[in-house]
Amino acid sequence: MFKKTTIAAAAIALLFAGCGQKNTTGNHLERIKSAGKIVVGLEGDWQPFSFHDENDNLVGFDVEVAQNIAEIIGVKAEIIEGPWDGLLAGEDTGVYDIVVNGVDVTPDREEKYDFSDPYAYDRAVLVTAAGNEEIKTFEDLNGKTTANSTGSTYMEIGEQYGATVKGVDTLAETITMVKNGQADATINAATSVQDYLMTTGDTGIVVVAQMDEATPYAIPLVKGEDNADLREAINDALKQMRESGKLAELSKKYFGEDLTQE
């Protein structure tokens, strides 16, 4: 079972660490190995990527991907949960060593981060309330409202198609808003929406459209030579997981199919 740690607690811990004997020698990978752990940021409430099971254990595809990467590198994975809109900022400031949270590779993000090789592929889907006859395509979002995670690529997609986007924290909140009429639609990962529909049996929402282009998920690292060796180590770990079949096994476990190939 994983210990849940809040962003505030993590930030305080980082502050106190700065007042002590913090190891600042070597590059990022060397510091991680010296500490014996890699601190991983993820949401913890985005099923099936990361969520709490009936026993409150933190589980999910990204959780196990992070664990396996850590094991191959030779350290432990210390997982800290936090809201999506603070994860990349937490990596920027050193609260997390890496973020493993189904992060889409986008041109804007590539300007700021060096990404690992992709470890899974997904597609964005458009969701409305059952019986909505006004929205059948992404183009129909023009002049409508969507609810999406603040700072997500799904929020950006809604804005690109002319929607007014309401930012919230979780998939569950977006679906509630669609069902009660606070938003006309939501956009999210096909895997997450399908998992929600299968686990809840909710007939109040429907998927009306899906993007043709696949979205690659990868691990972002702050640009710079300090992270060059860490990026190489992560890519090597992902390669080992692909070749051993572990990555495909985890995908089938949580998604019901192998999404590790484009």
> For residue 129, what pLDDT is reported?
97
> For residue 24, what pLDDT is reported?
65
Res. 114 pLDDT band, cuts 50 70 90: very high
| Chain centroid to CA 241 | 19
> For residue 149, what pLDDT is reported?
87
The residue-averaged pLDDT of 96-110 equals 95
Burial (0-12, 13-18, 19+ Cβ within 10 Å), 25:
exposed
Question: What value does the mean pLDDT of the chain take?
Answer: 91
Q: Domains in the chain, start-ordered, CATH in brackets?
A: 7-120+216-255 (3.40.190.10), 124-210 (3.40.190.10)
> For residue 18, what pLDDT is reported?
45
> Tens digit of pLDDT for each residue in 19-76?
434 456 789 999 999 999 999 999 999 999 999 999 999 999 999 999 999 999 999 9
Burial (0-12, 13-18, 19+ Cβ within 10 Å), 212:
exposed
Separation between Cα atoms, residue 41 and residue 78, nearest integer Å: 9
For residue 8, pLDDT beyond 60: no
